[in-house]
Structure 1
Amino acid sequence: MVIRGEEKMTVIGIDLGTTNSLGCVYRNGKAELIPNAYGSYLTPSVVSMTEDGKLIVGQPAKDRLITHPERTVSSFKKDMGTGRSWKLGEKSFLPEELSSLVIRSIVEDAQNYLGEEIEEAVISVPAYFHDEQRVAVKRAGVLAGICVERIINEPSAAALASYFTANEEQNMLVFDFGGGTLDVSLVDCFDTMVEIVSVAGNNRLGGDDFDRLIAEHFLREHGMGRQQLCAQEYAVLLKQAERCKKLLSQQEEVVMHATVGDRVYESTYTMDRLFEESKDLLKEIRQVIGRALKDGKMTIHDVDLVVMAGGSSKMPLIQKYIRHLFHKAPMVQGNCDELIALGLGLVCGVKERKEEIKDYILTDICPFSLGVATINEADPDRAYMANIINRNTVLPCSRVRRFYTASDQQDYVVVEVHQGENTYAQDNLLLGKIEISVPPKPKGKEAVDVRFTYDINGILVVDTRVVSTGVVKTHIISQKIPEAELEERVRELEKLKVHPRDLSENQQMMERLEALYQEVYPEQKEQVQQMIRTFEEFLDGQNPRQIQGYRRYLEKAVSVLEYYDPFEEEFDASESDWDLWDEEEAQDPDNEETDEEEFWKKEGDDHSWTS
């Protein structure tokens, strides 16, 4: 939070959308949407350049999509972080430059509405944006003259808004369908926790695809191709297709008109026809939902509530399809366009430590796996990807794996850091390369431990440790984040660099289990042994929440098995001394520091490097 003197500056949440963008703040005990200069909460994510070189943003720019298509651009969000440029007249702009104009417009509207200066923002992104795309969003904020303190996944913000309103413990699936992107998240809501379980998405699938689909079928029906239309005619056709899509939510039949040359064409659309023509797009939607469920180890029957977010989720076709898939009606809470922005407003309230919401915690996960390139002996030119942090790992997190040299007398290794899900490293996004020296030894006789420590804002700390010498080097892959912010984030990430096995509370529990195994009756030994095996599996998984949950279970189960009074006629587990355990636990606080040898605890993974 920006503080000037004793005055705390308002933080704004910005839903930077493909089609429309919104601003929201937290005040007077609730999330409050910001109206723009035209009295609307929705600011079209459109930029246009006038003939005299002036840039205009929002609704006035959208009005020029038809009249000046060659000087107006929209849907540029999908190209964030790709390096692709968009042309306005004779000038070219990167997507983050165009997005910065939209962000600046929303900030100015907020300043005018609130009567105060705003210097800090929380901005949402599709959950499936990779690091370069997230950094491009932060860069857009910098270009707009505002500090982007945090990036929030869009479905996470929608989940927070829904849970804050309903306040009911449940498994929630957030279906966030915007103009250009689709995100699906499984969310576990309980107490004041909103925990993301899994995410899946398609950054090239949105409501705009249905507009183009209707337009293409219209042309095909009349024996025409896209090349026969000039830019203005095609812009008008897309506008008519969008109108047809929207009207089908209000009426059973829509007549679509379009002018090509000096002739007017028309077609009649019904919901059944739209469904038939959209089957391929609906199949893609189903695949994304299936991937989220699979990664979250759930089925449709485990989902208590389906929440619709994003403007395109208002389509009756989409809502009907979701109802068909889940055998239940989805929840459409207010205006789907506004749900993400309202969630961002709540995040701002948490950040500003507002009393009624300060205790809410929104966790997020890593949408893509992070790993390194390892040698492929069958095809040395196509290195394998070896994951260190798997996708859907709760963030922030820290993981370590051990790798071995791939050739005799190898005196250096190159750590290629990649992000993605493909088998071959070069098919994934390359984040950086690190070269380190190692003592020359026979193949496989030298090893390097590689630790990744990562947060949702895109800061990846890579620690390398040569096993034989103990030499540790730290490398920061930050994607051009400002130095002051980088230093603060690195300090926070340092706290995570402890293997769960080395935490005092986990060591203590393992010691209790091992002691209990020696003391229990023979018929109970198998039960305790299974507890030990399961606890070891959770520790190996390095998921803090799962470890904590199972440890709480063990605390009760072990206490029951430990409690035995030979002077009592009958054993009653309900009379176990739970208070004594609480006192002991309070006297042994978490120890998050460990010496270097413990910190670099040996991992059993056997991988070889490309060199």
Structure 2
Amino acid sequence: MIVGIDLGTTHSLIGVHDGHGGRLFPNAHGELLTPSVVSLDGDTVLVGQAARERLVTHPELTAATFKRQMGTDHESTLGGRRFRPEELSALVLRSLIADAESALGEKVTEAVISVPAYFSDAQRKATRAAGELAGIRVERLINEPTAAALAYGLRDREGEGRVLVLDLGGGTFDVSLLELFDGVVEVHASAGDTFLGGEDFLEVLLQAFATDTKTDLKRLPASELARLRQQMEAFKQGLSTHGDNRLQIQLLDASMEWSCTAERFETLAAPLLQRMRLPIERALRDARLVPGDIDDVVLVGGAVRMPMVGRLATRLLGRLPLRHIHPDQAIALGATLAAGLKDRAIDLDEVVLTDVCPYTLGIDVSRVDERGRYHPGYFLPVIPRNSVVPISREQSISPVSDKQKVLSIGVYQGEHPVVERNIALGRLEIPVDPTRGGDGSFRVRFTYDVDGLLQVEITDTSNGHRHDLVLQRNESALDTAQIQTRLAALQALKVHPREHLPNVALMARAERVYAEYMDNRDHVQAWLAQFRSTLESQDTARISEQRDAFTAALDALEAES
């Protein structure tokens, strides 16, 4: 069985194309959104809602927003164990797959996973590694805006049209310009910012709070900072819903109040909104279009609920964005449709999906000045950004010296003429025979596929020898042996049975409420003791009844506080 997965920074979803359309699966709590949070409780791993509750009570054992570190060698330490971003993502994937298998009644073996359009080669390889660590084969990576447009285009549009998709998630912002015609979804341009998302808007509120209340966030204990972030997230949502909001919180045994208006929030976020403008303008410029050429604008991602985002899109593009598919679900639904395409679903037989390379890919070269002197470190593009993929392009190069024994070729992605300002993907070392003769040139061929993976080939034109060299892996990437070692370590972790997760999450929530609301600790402690006692009875009906009552009591307590 093949599924579609939206592996998000803050939340993740999973679904399948069942022949009638995309269908998303709820987790053990009955929710479609699973928080992308992982926590350790002894030798047991918690994922989702229970883990998110422990961000406050056990921040040293809990990790979140790790998608932002994908493709790096960053490690999170949880309870003495060290986890790479791929491993934490794999634990989220395992939880999603368990939910899908529970709903389907069969094993999931393959997946189409969405990634930000601006994810680099290293980040895409890390996402594939996460799939391997989770025990599935990643059949395809699909760009998130393309997935969203796929959901909108196939379900709702008739005839031709140009659609601009703006995807503002928890950690990334992506822009894709697509054309829909005769069953074809063709990407014309893609741009974005992998370090711009809802978390950054949250950060400006935190900094404003710190300035107004003279709070040094760096001096707050981890649990206090986690609690502040959690309450500030609810505060931010209130600003989007009500316009103005007031925060009451107790930090370091001091009661604090803070208020903010929607107007001030938009002023604080002005630099972030300016950063959003740049990829939008770049995508239009690359596609050689103006705002009047766009037929529809689609907003997806949880952070687009902020009214300022809709206003920005309307001002820039001169039209109201479409919102009739849930912004949190559009990417996941598109991923399920892409999975249906791979699975040859009957109702998708006539659909063709194309994508583009979001970055310029090239090599480092030396330039010769008018005096014949060589200056190294310049960027030679091989595949320009926004080229339709799959694509294969080549460039001819020559050694700097006739006596050169090795041709060293650095592979880069980026848009700067100087290579050190671009992202290094790897380096290839090609032996050169000094007696080779010929015209002295080599052909460098780049092949970029629909999954964003790059293959580099070098051909010696003097003798026709082709060097089928695999791009040396990035230092931050896991090789096959490392994946197998880490897979064994992950499998050794215990996972709560799926049917027990609502109880685990409720107890984690109670512990968080106990830590936050000092005036009600006796009540919370009594409720928690009673619920633990009920769990020991193993009476399913009684546990369900007590869980509902406990949840209602916590809801009431938090609503009053």
Shift of 1:478: 8.1
Shift of 1:439: 4.5
User: Which among 133, 140, 150 is matched to residue 123 of structure 2?
Assistant: 133
Q: Would the aligned equivalents of 1:160 and 1:194 in 2 still touch at CA under 8 Å?
A: yes
Shift of 1:276: 1.0
Q: Deviations over 1:398-456 (max 9, x none)?
A: 112111232244344223222222322244223231313245589x9521122222213
SS class of match (1:21)? strand
Q: Which residue of 2 aligns with 1:20?
A: 11
User: Which among 107, 128, 150 is matched to residue 117 of structure 1?
Assistant: 107
User: Which among 65, 72, 82 is matched to residue 82 of structure 1?
Assistant: 72
1:384 and 2:378 correspond: yes
* Counterpart-to-counterpart distance in 1, 2:329 and 2:376: 45
* Counterpart-to-counterpart distance in 1, 2:439 and 2:103: 66
Higher relative contact order (CA 8 A, sep 6+): 2
SS class of match (2:150)? helix
Q: Would the aligned equivalents of 1:371 and 1:388 in 2 still touch at CA under 8 Å?
A: yes
* Counterpart-to-counterpart distance in 2, 1:100 and 1:409: 49
Q: Would the aligned equivalents of 1:200 and 1:288 in 2 still touch at CA under 8 Å?
A: yes
Specify the code of the residue in structure 2 equivalent to 1:53.
D
* Counterpart-to-counterpart distance in 1, 2:176 and 2:451: 18
CA pair 430-252 structure 1, distance change in 2 beyond 3 A: closer
Q: Which residue of 1 aligns with 2:28?
A: 37
* Counterpart-to-counterpart distance in 2, 1:60 and 1:449: 54
* Counterpart-to-counterpart distance in 2, 1:151 and 1:195: 16
State the Cα RMSD in Å: 2.1
Q: Which residue of 1 aligns with 2:317?
A: 326
SS class of match (2:266)? helix
SS class of match (1:248)? helix
1:278 and 2:269 correspond: yes
Specify the code of the residue in structure 1 equivalent to 2:429.
I
Matches within 5 A, 1:593-608: none
More divergent stretch after superposition (320-329 vs 148-157): 320-329
Matches within 5 A, 1:414-493: 414-427=408-421, 428-440=423-435, 445-477=439-471, 479=473
Q: Deviations over 1:253-311 (max 9, x none)?
A: 21112222222111222211111111111111111211221222222122111101111
Q: Deviations over 1:301-330 (max 9, x none)?
A: 221111011111122121122112222111
* Counterpart-to-counterpart distance in 1, 2:236 and 2:409: 50
Q: Which blocks of at least 5 consecutive residues in structure 1 are unaligned?
A: 1-9, 484-611
Q: Deviations over 1:347-389 (max 9, x none)?
A: 1111111111122111111111221111145796851111111
Shift of 1:481: 8.3
Matches within 5 A, 1:74-473: 74-168=64-158, 169-376=160-367, 382-427=376-421, 428-440=423-435, 445-473=439-467
Specify the code of the residue in structure 1 equivalent to 2:111.
A
SS class of match (2:272)? helix
* Counterpart-to-counterpart distance in 1, 2:284 and 2:164: 9
Q: Would the aligned equivalents of 1:177 and 1:206 in 2 still touch at CA under 8 Å?
A: yes
Q: Would the aligned equivalents of 1:183 and 1:201 in 2 still touch at CA under 8 Å?
A: yes
* Counterpart-to-counterpart distance in 1, 2:130 and 2:363: 29
* Counterpart-to-counterpart distance in 1, 2:433 and 2:298: 52
Q: Of the two, which has the highest radius of gyration?
A: 1
* Counterpart-to-counterpart distance in 2, 1:294 and 1:265: 48
* Counterpart-to-counterpart distance in 1, 2:269 and 2:240: 16
* Counterpart-to-counterpart distance in 1, 2:119 and 2:28: 30
SS class of match (2:347)? coil
Q: Deviations over 1:324-348 (max 9, x none)?
A: 2222111112310000000011111
Q: TM-score, normalised by structure 2?
A: 0.80
Specify the code of the residue in structure 1 equivalent to 2:31.
S
Q: Would the aligned equivalents of 1:240 and 1:257 in 2 still touch at CA under 8 Å?
A: no
Shift of 1:249: 2.5
Q: Would the aligned equivalents of 1:138 and 1:148 in 2 still touch at CA under 8 Å?
A: yes
Shift of 1:93: 0.5
Q: Would the aligned equivalents of 1:369 and 1:420 in 2 still touch at CA under 8 Å?
A: yes
Q: Would the aligned equivalents of 2:391 and 2:448 in 1 still touch at CA under 8 Å?
A: yes
Specify the code of the residue in structure 1 equivalent to 2:278.
Q
Q: Would the aligned equivalents of 2:249 and 2:257 in 1 still touch at CA under 8 Å?
A: yes
* Counterpart-to-counterpart distance in 1, 2:56 and 2:376: 47
Q: Would the aligned equivalents of 2:124 and 2:453 in 1 still touch at CA under 8 Å?
A: no
* Counterpart-to-counterpart distance in 1, 2:43 and 2:199: 28
CA pair 160-482 structure 1, distance change in 2 beyond 3 A: farther
Q: Would the aligned equivalents of 1:439 and 1:446 in 2 still touch at CA under 8 Å?
A: no
Equivalent pairs counted in the alignment come to 472
Specify the code of the residue in structure 2 equivalent to 1:128.
Y
* Counterpart-to-counterpart distance in 1, 2:392 and 2:211: 53
Q: Would the aligned equivalents of 1:395 and 1:456 in 2 still touch at CA under 8 Å?
A: yes
Specify the code of the residue in structure 2 equivalent to 1:259.
Q
CA pair 230-481 structure 1, distance change in 2 beyond 3 A: closer
Q: Deviations over 1:476-506 (max 9, x none)?
A: 33857879xxxxxxxxxxxxxxxxxxxxxxx
Q: Would the aligned equivalents of 2:165 and 2:297 in 1 still touch at CA under 8 Å?
A: yes
Shift of 1:234: 1.4
CA pair 182-459 structure 1, distance change in 2 beyond 3 A: closer
Q: Which residue of 1 aligns with 2:43?
A: 53
SS class of match (1:214)? helix
* Counterpart-to-counterpart distance in 1, 2:409 and 2:426: 11
* Counterpart-to-counterpart distance in 2, 1:300 and 1:13: 32
Q: Would the aligned equivalents of 1:236 and 1:258 in 2 still touch at CA under 8 Å?
A: no
Percent pairwise identity: 40
* Counterpart-to-counterpart distance in 1, 2:432 and 2:34: 53
